[in-house]
Structure 1
Amino acid sequence: MPDNKKLSSIINEEASLVYSSDTIIIGKIFAENRTNIKLEQIPNHLKKALIATEDKRFYSHLGYDSRSYLRVLFKSILMRDQKGGGGSTITQQLIKNLYGRQYSGFLNLPVNKIKELITAKRIEKIYTKDEILLLYLNSVPFGEDIFGVESAANRFFNKSVSELKVEESAVLIGMLKANTYYNPRLKPKNSLNRRNTVLQLMNNEQYLSYQATDSLQKLPLTLNYENVNLKTTAGYFVYQVKKKVTEILESVNETRNKNYNLETEGLEIHTTLNYSIQKIAEKAAKEQLISKQKQLEIELRSNSIKAKWFKKQEGKSLSLEKDKQNRNAELFDWDSTKIISGTKFDILWHYAKMLNASVLITNPKNGAVISWVGGNNFRMLPFDMVLSHRQIASAFKPVLYATAIENGFSPCDYLENEEKTYPEFENWKPQNADYSSTPDSKVALWYALIHSMNLPTIDLYFKLERELLINSCKKLKFPEITGNAPSIALGTLDLSLFEIIRAYGTFANKGEMNDLYMISKITDKAGNIIYESKEEKAERIFKTESCQTLTAILQQAVEQGTGSNIRNKYDIKSQLASKTGTAQSYTDAWFIAYTPNIVFGTWVGTSENSIHFNSGKGSGSSLALPIIANILKEIEKDTQLKNKYLTSFDIPKEIYSSIQCPPYKQKGIKGFWNRLFKKKTK
Structure 2
Amino acid sequence: MKILKEIQLQLKGNKKLTLLLKYATGLILFGVLLVVVLFSLVYFEVFGKLPNKEELTSIINEEASLIYSSDEVIIGKLFAENRTNVRLEQIPNHLKEALIATEDKRFYSHNGYDGQSYARVFFRSILLQDASGGGGSTITQQLIKNLYGRQYHGFLSMPINKIKELIIASRMEKLYSKDEILLLYLNSVPFGENNFGVESAANRFFNKSVSELHIEESAVLVGMLKANTYYNPRLNPENAKKRRNTVLQLMNSEAYLSNKVTDSLQKLPITLNYKNLDVNATAGYFTYQMKKKAVEIVKKINDSTNTSYNLETDGLKIHTTLNYDIQKIAEKSAKEQLIIKQQQLDKELASNRLKNRWLKKQQFTEDDKQNRTIQLFDWDSTKTITGNKIDSLWYYDKMLNASVLITNPKNGAVISWVGGNNFNTLPFDMVLSHRQIASAFKPFLYATALENGISPCDYFENEEKTYPEYDNWKPKNADHSSTPDKKVAMWYALIKSMNIPSVNLYFKLEKEWLIDTCEKLLFPEITDDTPSIALGTLDLSLFEATRAYGAFTNNGEMNDLYMISKITDKEGNIIYESEAQKAKRVFTKESAQTLTTILQQAVEQGTGASIRNRYKIKNPLASKTGTAQDYTNAWFMAYTPNIVLGTWVGTSKNDVHFTSGNGSGSSLALPIVANILKEIENTPELKEKYLSSFDIPEKISSSIDCPPYREKGIKGFFNRLFGKKKGE
Alpha-carbon shift at residue 74 of structure 1 (Å): 4.3
C-alpha distance in structure 2 between counterparts of 1:185 and 1:612, whole Å: 40
Contact 2:75-2:282 within 8 A present in 1 as well: no
Residue of structure 1 in register with 2:551 after alignment? 506
Residue of structure 1 in register with 2:621 after alignment? 576
Alpha-carbon shift at residue 565 of structure 1 (Å): 0.4
Structure 2 counterpart SS, 1:105: coil
Residues 675 and 241 (structure 1), Cα distance of their counterparts in 2 relative to 1, 3 Å cut: closer
The two structures have a TM-score, normalised by structure 1, of: 0.97
Superimposed CA distance per residue, residues 339-377 of structure 1 (whole angstroms, 9 cap, x where no aligned partner): 222111111111111111111100100000111111110
Aligned residues: 675
Partner of residue 425 from structure 1, selected from 466, 470, 473:
470
C-alpha distance in structure 1 between counterparts of 2:723 and 2:169, whole Å: 103
Contact 1:596-1:648 within 8 A present in 2 as well: yes
C-alpha distance in structure 2 between counterparts of 1:109 and 1:81, whole Å: 19
Q: Does 1:113 align with 2:162?
A: yes
Contact 1:233-1:373 within 8 A present in 2 as well: no
Alpha-carbon shift at residue 675 of structure 1 (Å): 5.2
Residue of structure 2 in register with 1:442 after alignment? 487
Alpha-carbon shift at residue 71 of structure 1 (Å): 2.9
Residue of structure 1 in register with 2:324 after alignment? 275
Alpha-carbon shift at residue 638 of structure 1 (Å): 1.2
Residue of structure 1 in register with 2:108 after alignment? 59
Partner of residue 431 from structure 2, selected from 365, 386, 398:
386
Residue of structure 1 in register with 2:220 after alignment? 171
Q: Does 1:346 align with 2:391?
A: yes
Residue of structure 2 in register with 1:5 after alignment? 54
> Structure 2: which amino acid aligns with 1:307?
N
Superimposed CA distance per residue, residues 594-639 of structure 1 (whole angstroms, 9 cap, x where no aligned partner): 0111101100111021211111110000000001101111111111
> Structure 2: which amino acid aligns with 1:103?
Y
Alpha-carbon shift at residue 78 of structure 1 (Å): 5.9
> Structure 2: which amino acid aligns with 1:621?
S
C-alpha distance in structure 2 between counterparts of 1:364 and 1:30, whole Å: 32
Q: How does 1:161-310 map to 2 (within 5 A)?
A: 161-310=210-359
C-alpha distance in structure 1 between counterparts of 2:286 and 2:716, whole Å: 56
Q: Does 1:135 align with 2:180?
A: no
C-alpha distance in structure 2 between counterparts of 1:372 and 1:630, whole Å: 16
Q: How does 1:25-64 map to 2 (within 5 A)?
A: 25-64=74-113
Contact 1:64-1:117 within 8 A present in 2 as well: yes
Contact 1:59-1:129 within 8 A present in 2 as well: yes
Contact 1:233-1:376 within 8 A present in 2 as well: no
Residue of structure 1 in register with 2:16 after alignment? none
C-alpha distance in structure 1 between counterparts of 2:297 and 2:462, whole Å: 52
C-alpha distance in structure 1 between counterparts of 2:122 and 2:161, whole Å: 13
Residue of structure 1 in register with 2:71 after alignment? 22
Superimposed CA distance per residue, residues 426-449 of structure 1 (whole angstroms, 9 cap, x where no aligned partner): 111111001111111110000000
Structure 2 counterpart SS, 1:106: coil
C-alpha distance in structure 2 between counterparts of 1:189 and 1:79, whole Å: 30
Residues 232 and 100 (structure 1), Cα distance of their counterparts in 2 relative to 1, 3 Å cut: closer
Alpha-carbon shift at residue 323 of structure 1 (Å): 2.5
Q: How does 1:392-541 map to 2 (within 5 A)?
A: 392-541=437-586
Structure 2 counterpart SS, 1:240: helix
Gaps of 5+ in 1: none
Residue of structure 2 in register with 1:104 after alignment? 153
Alpha-carbon shift at residue 551 of structure 1 (Å): 0.4
- When structure 1 is superposed on structure 2, of 159-168 and 338-347 the one drifting more is 338-347
Alpha-carbon shift at residue 313 of structure 1 (Å): 1.5
C-alpha distance in structure 2 between counterparts of 1:297 and 1:97, whole Å: 53
Q: Does 1:658 align with 2:707?
A: no
C-alpha distance in structure 1 between counterparts of 2:435 and 2:284, whole Å: 22
C-alpha distance in structure 2 between counterparts of 1:330 and 1:249, whole Å: 38
Q: RMSD in angstroms over aligned alpha carbons?
A: 1.4
Alpha-carbon shift at residue 528 of structure 1 (Å): 1.0
**Which structure has the larger Rg?**
2
Q: Does 1:147 align with 2:196?
A: yes
C-alpha distance in structure 2 between counterparts of 1:244 and 1:78, whole Å: 59
Percent identical: 75
Contact 2:76-2:281 within 8 A present in 1 as well: no
Structure 2 counterpart SS, 1:95: helix
Contact 1:359-1:371 within 8 A present in 2 as well: yes
The two structures have a TM-score, normalised by structure 2, of: 0.91
Partner of residue 90 from structure 1, selected from 139, 145, 149:
139
Alpha-carbon shift at residue 77 of structure 1 (Å): 5.1
Structure 2 counterpart SS, 1:530: strand
Superimposed CA distance per residue, residues 538-577 of structure 1 (whole angstroms, 9 cap, x where no aligned partner): 1111000001100000000000000000110011100000
Residue of structure 1 in register with 2:633 after alignment? 588
Residue of structure 2 in register with 1:641 after alignment? 686
Alpha-carbon shift at residue 67 of structure 1 (Å): 1.5
